[in-house]
């Protein structure tokens, strides 16, 4: 890329790691309209309650909110439409069996542009965390932060 061009943003699902225990990740393409791609280049998407499901041998992403592109006018897109995920048949079968057997969920973790300028979705095969697990994770993170602070204080004092 030249100096004047800006790299498109990587959009992350910040709450996913807090609410879910991610067991496995998988990259997938996503079928989008032109106005959706332009909105994503501006970083206008929300993952709030997004998840993926399989139906009729296809995997789709539900509840991913991409804001309408202002310049698209009446030819724009619907904000929360169902979007098809581009995966190989083997991957879909594998994911479907995992979802059914182990009662897991497939959630989007990131939306980003690859080197060729195509939009990709990083999917996570995840298990929902219970409230106790979330609290435990917060305590661990807090303890780690305190330890890091103490280490920094000790090293700077010498």
Handedness of CA 127, 66, 61, 28 (dihedral sign): negative
pTM of the predicted model as reported, rounded to 2 decimal places: 0.77
| Domain-embedded: residue 143 | no
* 14-28 mean pLDDT: 87
pLDDT value of residue 1: 47
| Domain-embedded: residue 158 | no
Instruction: Tell me how far apart the alpha carbons of residues 43 and 41 are, in angstroms, rounded to a whole number.
Output: 5
CATH of the domain at 115: 2.40.280.10
| Domain-embedded: residue 63 | yes
The pLDDT tens digits for 117-143 are: 899 999 999 988 787 777 888 888 888
**Total structural domains within the chain:** 1
Would the pLDDT of 98 be above 50? yes
Would the pLDDT of 4 be above 60? no
Instruction: Tell me how far apart the alpha carbons of residues 92 and 54 are, in angstroms, rounded to a whole number.
Output: 8
Would the pLDDT of 108 be above 90? yes
| Domain-embedded: residue 145 | no
- Give the pairing type, strands 83-86 and 58-62: antiparallel
């Amino acid at each position: 890329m030249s100096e004047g061009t800006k790299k498109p943003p990587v959009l992350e699902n910040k709450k996913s790691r807090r609410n879910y225990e991610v067991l496995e990740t998988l990259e997938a393409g996503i079928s989008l309209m032109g106005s959706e791609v332009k909105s994503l280049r501006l970083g206008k998407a929300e993952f709030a309650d997004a998840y993926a499901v399989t139906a009729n041998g296809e995997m789709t992403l539900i509840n991913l909110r991409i804001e309408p592109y202002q310049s698209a006018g009446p030819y724009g897109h619907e904000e929360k439409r169902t979007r098809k995920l581009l995966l190989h048949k083997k991957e879909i079968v594998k994911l479907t069996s995992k979802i059914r057997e182990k009662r897991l969920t497939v959630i989007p973790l990131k939306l980003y542009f690859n080197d060729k300028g195509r939009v990709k979705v990083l999917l996570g095969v995840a298990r929902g965390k219970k409230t106790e697990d979330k609290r435990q994770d917060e305590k661990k993170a807090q303890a780690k932060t305190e330890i890091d602070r103490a280490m920094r204080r000790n090293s700077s004092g010498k």
